[in-house]
Structure 1
Amino acid sequence: MTTVDAKTVAGRLNIGFVLARSFTLSAFAMFVDTLRLASDEEDRSGRRFADWQVLGSTRHLIASSCGVQVAPTANFVDPERFDYIVVVGGLLNNPSPVDDDTIAYLRKAAAKKVPLIGVCTGTFILAEAGLMKGHRTCVSWLHYEAFRERFPDLEVRADRIFNLDRTRGSCAGGASAADMAAAIVRRHIGRAAERNALEVLQIQKARSALDIQPRKPLAIECEDPRLRATIITMERHVANVIPLQKLADAVGLSRRQLERLFQEQTGSSPGHIYKKLRLERAKQLLVQTEAPLIEIALEVGFESASYFTKAFRMTFGRTPSQVRAEAPH
């Protein structure tokens, strides 16, 4: 394993990668290949404008979730030698995705104000280390509930593809890793380098931090990204119902504009869609848990079991008790 020299090229972008056990190979590959293609011309894989290292506390190979292994290329050198340190996460069922030396290194980097970025579930590692306090975290919709359960005091969203928040960054993973890397390349190297990388990767245009995660919420057909973002936000706040005005403000619309958009694209009002989302969540809880009805009602934002039961029957044609009784055991 080599050590990393101090920055030898003035202004060259330097990034250190920390790979979790069972990390997501696609997210790492998209990020590092965007750097590789931006750092030179004509796909020569040179490192004229950027450099990168895979950091590790040992020389052991690190296995990705698909089984492909990657070897660290550098020890835990002074974190100030890097412009960013990127933590690539993976499967959440690993109780120890990184070792104690890695956590200590990340805390050292944070103390020295080195920007830290969590890619995929790398944000979980940063949050577990206490390094996401005061920063907004972006996670995949797939991992949103798990993040909220583990870190209820942290601000998290699952509608955007990535976020760069002062000295922290977070990314939903997958192809959005290339979008985040492209934004960093554009900031530190330039638009020509970004364009070169994207063209070789066959990406027509990088998405911005304002783009919405490509997911169809509640199987609702809607093309407008502002509408999808609103519905995803509704899905993630079924207990503490967000006022319509606040939902509208979040996507840059007035309340009337948002109501009109819902009617045009879904044929329903925002309130009706929101209630349906809450009741769909209640239906899941009825089938998957043994929680009392009043607990489920409160979990999805209803203040009384009787009102919850009435709304549930009007939506599904059966009472909550009937749905639970019919569920396979």
Structure 2
Amino acid sequence: MAAPKLSPGSMRRQQNARLTVGFVLVHRFTLCAFANFVDVLRLAADEGDRSRPIQCRWTVIAPDLRPITASCGVSVQPQEVFGNPKRFDYVVVVGGLIDEMDRRDERMEAFLRQAAETGVPLVGLCTGTFILHRAGLMKGYRGCVSWFHHQDFLSRFGGFKPVSDQIFVVDRDRLTCSGGTSTAHLAAFLVDRHIGKAQSTKSLNIMMISGAEDGATPQPGLTLDFATKDPIVRKALLLMQQSLDTPLSVADIARHLEVGKRCLERHFRDALAISPLSAFIEMRLMLARHMLENTDKSIAMIAAESGFCDSSHLSRMFRRRFASTPQSYRASLPATGKSV
């Protein structure tokens, strides 16, 4: 099917636009990632808050015009079929549920490869990075994925080491993002690049997001139980988050962050008044408690997945922290429908 012809008014807006984006939505895409990105464009596109696409233009494109369902159940109607990717400054792939990664769309991947061959920069939001990698378009590039999907990425794809300790990565003509509200910051980066800082700041302010974050900003996660703005400490916490089942030594963490062990310990002491090791143990205990509350996994399995030597080791540490054994803690919980 050929791309539909644009009306004269639409053609004028497209010609005048300083930033044009084509959105490719995968089946069960993440609505939050898409909405945050497109709203930054919407709010930057015009004076005031009238939502007219004057300086930015955005279009949802697909192999056909059938509605695409988000993970939350909301459906979005594509506006155009794929056609020529060069009509866009960027093609943005919005990923979704990890369970959908085995579901391939050859038409989508062929279009993305065509866009790459013609020099159109590609953007991956959330698990959109997975889609780009699977299409063979991330070789030699750094790519960002959410800390939540870090292990999923490693287990499904080889030959690529994901970046999970910052909110987005810009590597030449590949821009990848961890998802959630960080997509707004990546969109603001593009608005700043093509239209101006005033417009990007205006968009974030209207969305009640306090200031643009650069790509190196650490991703939030369970580590926000430790409130700190120290970037070294936050990156260390995020690295711990990604290694809960196979704990790293403090020396290994310091080496990864390219700082000295004593330097890392000093940052933790100043920021959190605890050692890196204590923070790591606390994080693993919080994970174990979460699994006790929300799963039917055995104590031995929980011990293994939270990085303890065995169930006895977990029990000792858990009792020291929560004044209860894991068995007693689970027994005290109200009956709920837990999953394995």
Shorter-normalised TM-score: what interval?
0.7 to 0.9
Q: Structure 2 regions of 5+ residues with no counterpart? A: 332-339
Question: Displacement, 1:159?
Answer: 2.3
> Contact 2:13/2:53 (CA < 8 Å) preserved in 1?
no
Partner of residue 2, structure 1 = 4
Q: Structure 1 regions of 5+ residues with no counterpart? A: none
Question: Displacement, 1:91?
Answer: 1.6
Partner of residue 52, structure 2 = 46
**Mapped pair 1:149 → 2:118:** no
Question: Displacement, 1:34?
Answer: 0.7
Aligned equivalents of 2:156, 2:277: Cα separation in 1: 29
Partner of residue 170, structure 1 = 176
Pair 1:309–1:190, CA change in 2 (3 A): same
Partner of residue 20, structure 1 = 26
Structure 1 length as normaliser, TM-score?
Answer: 0.79
Partner of residue 261, structure 1 = 267
Secondary structure, counterpart of 1:138 in structure 2: coil
Aligned equivalents of 1:221, 1:199: Cα separation in 2: 23
Letter in 2 for 1:68: V
> Contact 2:19/2:56 (CA < 8 Å) preserved in 1?
yes
| Cα shift readout 1:26-69 (whole Å, capped 9, x = no counterpart) | 21111111111111111222222211111111110111112221
Pair 1:156–1:96, CA change in 2 (3 A): closer
**Mapped pair 1:104 → 2:110:** yes
Q: 1:190 aligns with which of 168, 191, 196?
A: 196
The size of the alignment, in residue pairs, is 319
| Cα shift readout 1:90-125 (whole Å, capped 9, x = no counterpart) | 122225555211111111112223211111111121
Matches within 5 A, 1:163-312: 163-217=169-223, 219-220=225-226, 222-237=228-243, 244=250, 247-248=253-254, 253-271=259-277, 273-274=279-280, 288=297
Aligned equivalents of 1:36, 1:313: Cα separation in 2: 52
Pair 1:222–1:314, CA change in 2 (3 A): farther
Aligned equivalents of 2:60, 2:228: Cα separation in 1: 41
Letter in 1 for 2:186: M
Secondary structure, counterpart of 1:43 in structure 2: coil
Q: 1:67 aligns with which of 73, 87, 97?
A: 73
Q: 2:85 aligns with which of 71, 79, 93?
A: 79
Partner of residue 133, structure 1 = 139
Question: Displacement, 1:259?
Answer: 1.0
Letter in 1 for 2:205: E
Question: Displacement, 1:234?
Answer: 2.4
Aligned equivalents of 2:158, 2:193: Cα separation in 1: 33
| Cα shift readout 1:227-275 (whole Å, capped 9, x = no counterpart) | 1220211232467776756744765754432111223444543345557
Aligned equivalents of 1:67, 1:239: Cα separation in 2: 33
Letter in 2 for 1:211: T
Pair 1:288–1:110, CA change in 2 (3 A): farther
Question: Displacement, 1:180?
Answer: 0.7
Identity of aligned residues (%): 39
Letter in 2 for 1:204: S
> Contact 2:222/2:241 (CA < 8 Å) preserved in 1?
no
Aligned equivalents of 1:229, 1:149: Cα separation in 2: 22
Pair 1:281–1:127, CA change in 2 (3 A): farther
Aligned equivalents of 1:246, 1:97: Cα separation in 2: 37
